[in-house]
Chain A
Amino acid sequence: MWVYVFRRLLMTIPILLGVTIICFALVKLAPGDPVQNLVRPETSPEDIAKLQAHYGLDKPLVIQYFVWLWRVLNGDLGVSIANNAPVAREVLNAFSNTIVIALISVVIAFVLSMIFGIAAAYRPGSLLDKAITAVAVFGISVPTFWLGVVLVIIFAVDLNWLPATGMGSKGSDDFSYFRIEDLKFAIMPIIAFALPPFAIMTRTTRSSISEILNQDFVQTLRAKGLSEFHVICHAVRNMMPAGAAMLGLQLGYLIGGSVLVETVFTWPGTGFLINKAILTRDIPLLQGTILVLAAAFVLINLVVDLLQSLIDPRIKRI
């Protein structure tokens, strides 16, 4: 087991390196220059050159990459070109704003999708199944930014029940999920965050459970006289490894930051940060954020893999 964990962690290193190389190259391929955001058209070429030297952008790309890598290995993610703040601090702040909301959303989505998915699978083709499938298809098809705007129009503008944007009157510094006033700011983003994973997981649960219910062992269970509730419990237990895998993937996607949802609600998380970093070509910030996210994604997958072997004894990790 521990050997497996160690091997998996070791494997993350080439993955992270690959991600950063691709990302570094892509940002560089895109037209535009981070320094041009920091100067005016009238700025003299000499002043621009000094600024480029200041950020090390005058060096060849490969050198820039290795300089960055060396710093990262020494625990320094650099400073943002846009606001001079340490990237590590920026990313951790944004990450903490995203992770909580992503966890809440994915847990809500998971619980609901289990209930709806099982209900739909239990009587395939029934009215209930069709209704649930319709909701799930709607959830997959609706663009979340559109849903976000519609939620704002209904609940913030028309009904005035919930605040439209941000993280409270003092910002994320002073935000607490345990204060109703603050929690109100998170409700609409949570709904917009939770809808796509809810829809996807409902679909998956429905198909896995209905497949399991058609298997021979279920017939045996019924023949033995087990109650329907216990039969379902068996089916759910059988579907759990797949469920855990999709839960992990969905959580990973959400942490990657829903750029659109976070922009609509001005929620200062990682999606918001990445969007800003791309638009301003803030390379250190972009690199740092992607590195942290890739690491989080890999770790979540590792946790899921380990959980799977706990849930399902057939999966052995050596």
Chain B
Amino acid sequence: MKGLFWQGANRLVAASIIAAASFAVTAHAESVLRVAMTAADIPDWTGAPDQGYEGYRFAGYTMYDALALWDLSSSDKAADIVPGLAESWAVDPKDPLTWTFNLRKGVKFHDGCTWNADSAIWNLDRVKNSKALQYNARHAGMQGWAVGAVSSYEKVDDYTIKIHSTVPASMLPYSMAMLYMISNCKVTESGNNYGKFAEHPAGTGPYMFDKLVPHERLELVKNPNYWNPTRIPKNDRLVLLPMPEASTRAAALMAGQVDFVEAPSPDTIPALKGAGMQIITVPYPHNWDYLLRMNKGPFSDVRVRRAANMAINRQDVVDMLQGIATPAYNTLIESQPWYGNPVVYEYDTEKATALLKEAGCYPCKIKIGISTSGSGQMQPLPMNELVKEQLDEAGFETELVPMDWNALISVFFQGSGASDFDGINFSMAPIDASQGIVNKWMTTAAPPNCCNWGFYKNPEVDKLGLEAMAEFDPEKRNAILTKMNDTVMADAPELFIVHDLNPRALSPKLTGFVQAQSWFQDLTPIVVNP
């Protein structure tokens, strides 16, 4: 009898222990956020992301911080920069070539190493000083441009550094937001071998590296000690999966294999909505356009460029995309501070035809390079077919030359002088005034230096650009940049078509995501509900 009692009691105790244990397990069940990226491969995760800004979005700002960071907390305005690993910065009032950055105290890298001026200088050397042990040609290729205008730098004290530029560079903090700070201790410990560093990289970001299956998945975990308490992730684990096929991404979301999908294709959106998924769209600095060759050929005549812009019925393109884009009349989107009051070339086929006849180019033969896919290129084939149809209706004779994305990148890098294309369909990211205006339209930005592919040339614009770079008061600088952009737009230097609305599809389980008007997004506030 007694034996039976004890047996029963034992079972009861065992059962309660198991129950308590399983409760504990449920209470601490790890919340996992699984993201399907459009990238064909996992972007470089050692602090120099490739694969366009998608790489920065998922393998950059998740694990790493920069001196300045993008404020991604709002959907209502174009994102701007805020202090990051630097608490503040200022240009020397007496010397416009010298900036002082005051670094944040009390920040630790994921490996426990302390962030200070030595780490900052070490990181600048990593991409700038080819004699430094930690210099890395890949990192310099991907991130070195951020310090392109920098001539030298030095440590002032443990938490202050000075950066000198070759010319006045009022937009330097924006560049500094693109240069990730990686753990100098970890790289040194790896014998400056970045292959070894890649096995367990360390930054200061809100997520920490956990594991990687090459080409398949990158798993990050929450950094519970992140220096900014408001950005400690509300999910425990972030799993990043490359899925270049749009239909595969949609299927994976509907089959419950992922929770967050980048760029669902327009034709899958109704099905995703029908399955209860959240479709989120928000404008961001994206521009689906034709860059035009202006140093020779038909587009060297401003009338032909205006005619092309008037030939486009943008609403048709938007409708074809089921509303995941907005009509574009400018490189910038309206919420950016430099949008101003630009000339808008509205759709008017008759006027376009008249302009072409006036310019003596009718029918006007043009050859356009397009890609079959690519970062930011949306649905290039059907969209270009539609654009061609509209251009031809106004009197152009458009020849589309399709090629793969890598080949088009090559055409872009060489500039319009090296090929016989009158234009290329090449999406760019005007995320700040440097990338959206100064480095796009100044003569000094012509290839091979940077991004003025079609050799746009306007002395007034060059003058305004120099003024903007030397103006350190943000408001005054914005006024100059606005004037500069308006001046450029009057010359119709691009064929503006649409701005992407950056659709994302989220599982109904997710809450808390705020889609910023940016190429970068903050995944930390996302809550994965059971």
Contact = CB atoms under 8 A, between A and B. Distances in A.
B410 A32 contact: yes
Interface string B118-137: 00000000000010000001
Given A31-B403, A45-B448, A83-B42, A51 B138 contact: yes
Interface in B441-471: 448-451
A23 to B, nearest CB: 16
Nearest to B48: A38
B214 A51 contact: no
B141 A48 contact: yes
B40 interface: yes
Contacts of B50: 37-38, 82
B216 interface: yes
B130 to A, nearest CB: 7
A134 interface: no
B241 interface: yes
B217 A263 contact: no
B406 interface: yes
Nearest to B198: A84
Contacts of B275: 157
B412 interface: yes
Interface string B188-232: 000000110010000000000000011111000000000000000
A180 interface: no
B248 A265 contact: yes
A49 B412 CA distance: 17
A82 B242 CA distance: 14
Contacts of B145: 39-40, 42-44, 47
A37 B409 contact: yes
A268 interface: yes
A238 interface: no
Interface stretch (A118-126, A161-169, A201-209): A161-169
A35 B248 contact: no
Given A84-B198, A157-B254, A264-B248, A165 B243 contact: yes
B451 A42 contact: yes
Contact of B255 (A36, A53, A163, A167): A163
Contact-size category for B: 35 or more
Given A38-B50, A164-B252, A166-B241, A268 B216 contact: yes
B255 A160 contact: yes
Contacts of A53: 137
Contacts of A96: none
B41 A149 contact: no
A163 B257 contact: yes
B369 to A, nearest CB: 10
A170 B214 contact: no
B-side interface mostly: mixed
A160 to B, nearest CB: 6
A264 to B, nearest CB: 6
B213 A38 contact: no
Nearest to B52: A40
B44 to A, nearest CB: 7
Contacts of B12: none
Contact of A31 (B217, B248, B257, B407): B407
Contacts of B405: 279
A36 B50 CA distance: 10
Contacts of B148: 42-44
B144 A156 contact: no
Nearest to A84: B195
B256 interface: yes
Contacts of A30: 407
Interface of B: 40-42, 44, 50-51, 130, 137-138, 140-142, 144-145, 148, 194-195, 198, 213-217, 241-245, 247-248, 251-252, 254-257, 275, 403-407, 409-413, 428, 435, 439, 448-451
13 contacts: A47-B144, A47-B145, A53-B137, A54-B137, A79-B195, A82-B41, A83-B44, A84-B194, A163-B255, A264-B247, A266-B216, A266-B245, A276-B41
Interface of A: 30-33, 35-45, 47-48, 50-51, 53-54, 79, 82-85, 90, 93-94, 149, 152-153, 156-157, 160, 163-167, 170-173, 263-266, 268, 272-273, 275-276, 279-281
Given A43-B144, A157-B275, A160-B255, 9 more contacts: A36-B413, A40-B142, A42-B439, A164-B248, A165-B248, A264-B245, A266-B216, A266-B243, A279-B40
